């Protein structure tokens, strides 16, 4: 028979365990409610603030510029081409201003700083969105030359750093925001070339910048989009550059991959992009807007179902698991060289 003392002890343990579980659930619920409410607070006076966005010819930058303009924000949209600037100006209100900016040219950045300084005056620059970027050349690593890497790194990483450094005095004056566009490929390398290293670099630069600028009231956020239909994922441009890379390979390297590899690689690109790429760019620009307008912006924003449910979770798993998944998306080389 169970003694009265043992039964009392058992019941007390059951009650305490249920009480602990209830307290944990209550705390989790309260934390979620607090997070939701805190997430909804917005800064005041958006109509008096200026935001500079790079890479506004198309894609995320173009859409963000039009959306912020529609909300009454003073947008300065930096475009690479006259055509891009003209089309954007025609689609926006007279309040939106455009300027030409090549993020790989320090002189061009300096001229943009002078222009923005005149516009913002003593208020300073509230927001800088480093959105300009390029993807090609991408492909197997041994198809590349060093200049293939630098073409991408100059825009995606060094351009982000140079633009940020030159605009920091204006951002510190306004105690504003820096929003850097990285990628899920800054967490998990799926392709060779300079794109993944550049986005990993953006992650590292943003983290150190955030810590350094915290004491000055400048907040830094990172956007990590999955795959979206923009110029970065434009298949005809990617395919044309892959053909260029393949054409310049030595016959020995081509033979090491096999005659069918190139066509199979193109098919895998078409298949992957077709399944993964979302046409809804607003999933990314909503994150950008929150980072610029929320009183308590997040440090990182993931955008897209593939980012949230596939790539970011996969990046936390052991490397052999992520390697298996990535390798399953690409064809295997079939070495056709004769073994001597």
Residues annotated catalytic, as ranges? 195
Secondary structure of 177-222 in HEC code, one letter for each residue: EEEEECCHHHCCCCCCECHHHHHHHHHHHHHHHHHHHHHHCCEEEE
The DSSP secondary-structure symbol of 54 reads S
Residue showing tokens 């970027």: 133
- Rounded CA Rg of the chain: 25
C-alpha atoms less than 13 angstroms from C-alpha of 297 in its C-beta half-sphere: 28
For the chain, the maximum distance between any two Cα atoms, rounded to a whole number of angstroms, is 90
DSSP, residue by residue, 264-304: HHHHHHHHHHHHH-BS-THHHHHHHHHHHHBSS--SEEEES
């Amino acid at each position: 028979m169970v003694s009265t003392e043992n039964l009392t002890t058992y019941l007390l343990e059951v009650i305490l365990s249920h009480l602990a579980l209830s307290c944990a659930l209550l705390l989790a619920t309260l934390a979620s409610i607090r997070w939701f409410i805190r997430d909804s607070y917005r800064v005041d006076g958006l109509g008096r603030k200026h935001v500079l966005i790079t890479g506004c010819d198309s894609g995320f930058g173009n859409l963000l510029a039009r959306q912020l303009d529609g909300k009454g924000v003073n947008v300065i949209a930096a475009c690479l081409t006259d055509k891009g600037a003209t089309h954007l100006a025609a689609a926006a209100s007279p309040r939106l201003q455009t300027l030409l900016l090549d993020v790989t040219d320090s002189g061009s950045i300096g001229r943009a700083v002078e222009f923005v300084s005149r516009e913002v005056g003593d208020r300073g620059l509230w927001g800088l969105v480093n959105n300009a970027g390029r993807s090609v050349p991408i492909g197997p690593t041994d198809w590349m030359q060093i200049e293939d890497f630098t073409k991408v790194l100059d825009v995606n990483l060094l351009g982000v750093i140079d633009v940020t450094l030159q605009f920091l005095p204006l951002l510190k004056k306004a105690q504003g925001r820096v929003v850097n566009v990285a990628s899920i490929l800054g967490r998990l390398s799926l392709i060779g070339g300079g794109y993944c290293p550049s986005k990993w670099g953006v992650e590292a630069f943003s983290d150190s910048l955030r810590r350094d600028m915290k004491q000055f009231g400048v907040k830094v956020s990172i956007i990590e989009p999955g795959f979206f239909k923009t110029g970065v994922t434009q298949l005809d441009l990617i395919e044309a550059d892959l053909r260029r890379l393949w054409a310049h390979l030595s016959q020995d390297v081509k033979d090491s991959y096999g005659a069918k590899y190139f066509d199979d690689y193109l098919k895998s690109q078409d298949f992957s992009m077709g399944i993964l790429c979302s046409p809804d760019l607003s999933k990314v620009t909503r994150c950008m807007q929150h980072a610029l307008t929320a009183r308590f912006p997040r440090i990182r924003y993931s955008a897209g179902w593939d980012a949230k449910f596939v790539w970011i979770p996969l990046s936390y798993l052991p490397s052999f698991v992520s390697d298996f998944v990535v390798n399953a998306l690409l064809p295997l080389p079939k070495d056709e060289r004769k073994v001597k």
